[in-house]
C-alpha cells in the first residue's frame, strides 16, 4: 500500500510529457499546452506533419534566419509548427529581448519556459530538431544544422 501511494505521488509530480514516454517513431507526440509569443494558448494542431523544435540560441537563430523571410501563414501551409524551448535563457533576457523579438515575426511560436517539460525531447547542440508526424504519431526525427538543411526540410528552394 505504501509503495503504491509513493508511486502515485511521484506520477502526479512528473510533467505530462515525462508520463507520455520518449519522443520516438511510432509513439504519439505528447500533448503540450503552452503559450505562444503573444501569451495566448498554443497547441500542436491534429493535422501537423512537422514540428520544428529549437532548444538553444544557435538553433533558434537558424530557424529565425529561414522563417523570418517567409510570408505569414507559411508554417500552416506546410502543416508545420515552431516550438522553442527557452527554459535555459535567463528570465530577464527572455522578457526584455527574446519574446519582444518573436512578437514581431510573421509566424506563431510555441514557447516553453519550463525546463522539465521538453527535457526528454531529442536535440543536438546547435541544431534544429525536425519531428515528422502522421496522425499525431512520430514518424521520424532528424536534425538540421544549416540553413540549407532546414530549407530542404521545409520544402524551400536553396
Ordered domains of the chain (ranges, CATH): 2-153 (3.40.30.10)
| Distance (Å) of CA 3 to CA 7, 13, 142 | 6, 15, 39
pTM: 0.83
Radius of gyration of the chain (CA): 16
Q: Residues with Cβ < 8 Å from 23, sequence gap 6 or more? A: 29, 30, 120, 121, 122, 131, 138, 141
What tens-digit pLDDT sequence spans the chain (158 residues)? 444 434 433 334 333 434 345 788 999 999 898 999 999 999 999 999 999 999 999 999 999 999 998 999 999 999 999 999 988 877 878 787 788 888 989 899 999 999 899 988 999 999 999 999 999 999 999 999 999 999 999 998 87
**Dihedral (CA of 4, 16, 134, 27) sign:** negative
Is-contact 127 145, C-beta < 8 A? yes
The whole-angstrom separation of Cα 135 and Cα 130 is 16
Alpha helices in the chain (DSSP H): 2-13, 16-20, 57-67, 74-77, 91-93, 99-103, 147-153
Phi first, then psi, for residue 31 (nearest 5°) are -70, 135
Amino acid at each position: 500500500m505504501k509503495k503504491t501511494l509513493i508511486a502515485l505521488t511521484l506520477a502526479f509530480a512528473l510533467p505530462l510529457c515525462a508520463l507520455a514516454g520518449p519522443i520516438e517513431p511510432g509513439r504519439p507526440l505528447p500533448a503540450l499546452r503552452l503559450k505562444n509569443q503573444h501569451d495566448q494558448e498554443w497547441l500542436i494542431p491534429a493535422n501537423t506533419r512537422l514540428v520544428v523544435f529549437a532548444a538553444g540560441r544557435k538553433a533558434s537563430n537558424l530557424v529565425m534566419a529561414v522563417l523570418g523571410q517567409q510570408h505569414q501563414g507559411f508554417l500552416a501551409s506546410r502543416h508545420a509548427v515552431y516550438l522553442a524551448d527557452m527554459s535555459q535563457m535567463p528570465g530577464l533576457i527572455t522578457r526584455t529581448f527574446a519574446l519582444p523579438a518573436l512578437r514581431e515575426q510573421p509566424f506563431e511560436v510555441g514557447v516553453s519556459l519550463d525546463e522539465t517539460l521538453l527535457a526528454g525531447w531529442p536535440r543536438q547542440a546547435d541544431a534544429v530538431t525536425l519531428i515528422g508526424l502522421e496522425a499525431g504519431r512520430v514518424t521520424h526525427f532528424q536534425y538540421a544544422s544549416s540553413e540549407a538543411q532546414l530549407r530542404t526540410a521545409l520544402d524551400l528552394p536553396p
